[in-house]
Structure 1
């Protein structure tokens, strides 16, 4: 574990990414907030006891498992469209002009619309790799699957996205 980071530092570093990730999975603002809060609660419990080498993949794994736990408990998931994920992406890309912002937002809308049509499993793998830039191995470790399964899922998901965008 990165010894110089305490829970508050970790929270400040990853709160926006975790929220955007969970929101992109559940499409429900209040549910995403609850899951992120529960994720940091669980992180607080295990942070000192586990020997964690890389915080970000571990935190995303905790968030994903928290999401799955919540979904299993409550199968009635209400999806609400929200621009927060897009605004988060626009802020990160630091778009320069209104025209650039419109183009990026339009492309992201199309991409997210297509990604939303994928199965939850494919969507999760695609988001972890394409948006959060986790390595194949980190995704495999996070989801407890083989490296080849990650690669196959990414390949099929990308082909599906490409087909729907064309």
Structure 2
């Protein structure tokens, strides 16, 4: 199998996950498209130097570094768009009620909305662990930090998300009770 064929298979296998990941970092459709395109371009260039580790974490690492390069180039931190990610998880809907589906989608949207408030490093670590189910070693490799720092970053990110959820739930309860 040639280099082009390998990259084509990689593209078909991981494009959707990579697109969702990059979109979750930047929240801009045009930015996501550019970074995903640049990621596969860089993957094509460096495919010969690929050392045989798992391809998905390697590809996410390339995407993360491409995103960081873009951030440095732009020298700004307000790169969010108010658009929400349309669909975060594909689920079978045959046995699910419409109400259940709505609640699940709302919960996912709320989680991603809260995730947007975290700093990029915490958001990236929590996203890779809780959404894409990367191991701590894989996340440390993608982010270029130690495994210990990875665990601390994920813990702190989750704590911030928990505080946001408690605050939001308290505000909703107060509105319902007329406070």
TM above 0.5, one fold? yes
1:71: Cα distance to partner? 1.4
- The question of 1:158 aligning with 2:158 is answered yes
The more displaced of 70-79 and 27-36 is 70-79
Relative to the length of structure 2, the TM-score reads 0.83
Equivalenced residue count is 160
Larger of the two Rg values belongs to structure? 2
CA contact (8 A) 2:88 2:108 kept: no
> In structure 2, what is the equivalent of residue 94 of structure 1?
92
Q: Distance in 2 between matches of 1:50 and 1:25?
A: 24
Q: Distance in 2 between matches of 1:35 and 1:52?
A: 23
> In structure 1, what is the equivalent of residue 176 of structure 2?
none
1:86: Cα distance to partner? 4.2
CA contact (8 A) 2:42 2:62 kept: yes
1:82: Cα distance to partner? 3.0
Gapped runs of 5+ residues in structure 1?
none
CA separation of 1:132/1:49 partners in 2, compared to 1, >3 Å: closer, same or farther? same
Runs of 4+ off more than 4 Å: none
> In structure 2, what is the equivalent of residue 135 of structure 1?
135
Relative to the length of structure 1, the TM-score reads 0.89
> In structure 1, what is the equivalent of residue 29 of structure 2?
29
1:29: Cα distance to partner? 0.2
Gapped runs of 5+ residues in structure 2?
167-179
